[in-house]
Amino acid sequence: MANITIKDLPDKVHKELKNAARSQGRSLNGYIVSILEMSVDERCRRQMMREGRAEFRAFLASLPAFTDSTEMIREDRDRDHR
């Protein structure tokens, strides 16, 4: 596993992180690692969604143009009433 050092962390942020870690019964390091993991997971999910949207748009663009179905529906209704 890799290690990182965080420089110039504001005291208020450090205090809040420590309090949050303590309230969850975790070490500060464990809490920060979990926050970073969640952030990376969320970023990956968002990237997958962007790619999925692009694929979906490409699929929609490949479909033939839809025409007005009103006339077809009328013809179908008329067939049932004869």
Average pLDDT of the residues of the chain:
92
Does the pTM surpass 0.85? The reply is: no
Instruction: Answer with the residue of higher pLDDT: 7 or 66.
Output: 7
Instruction: Answer with the residue of higher pLDDT: 42 or 80.
Output: 42
pLDDT at 72: 85
The answer, yes or no, to whether residue 82 has pLDDT greater than 70, is no
pLDDT tens column, 27-50: 999 999 999 999 999 999 999 999
CA distances from 29 to 13, 33, 38, 67 (A): 14, 6, 14, 60
Alpha helices for the chain (secondary structure H): 11-23, 28-62, 70-80
**For the chain, which residues make up each domain, given as ranges?**
11-62
Chain Cα centroid distance, residue 56: 15
pLDDT at 44: 96
Calculate mean pLDDT across residues 61-73: 86
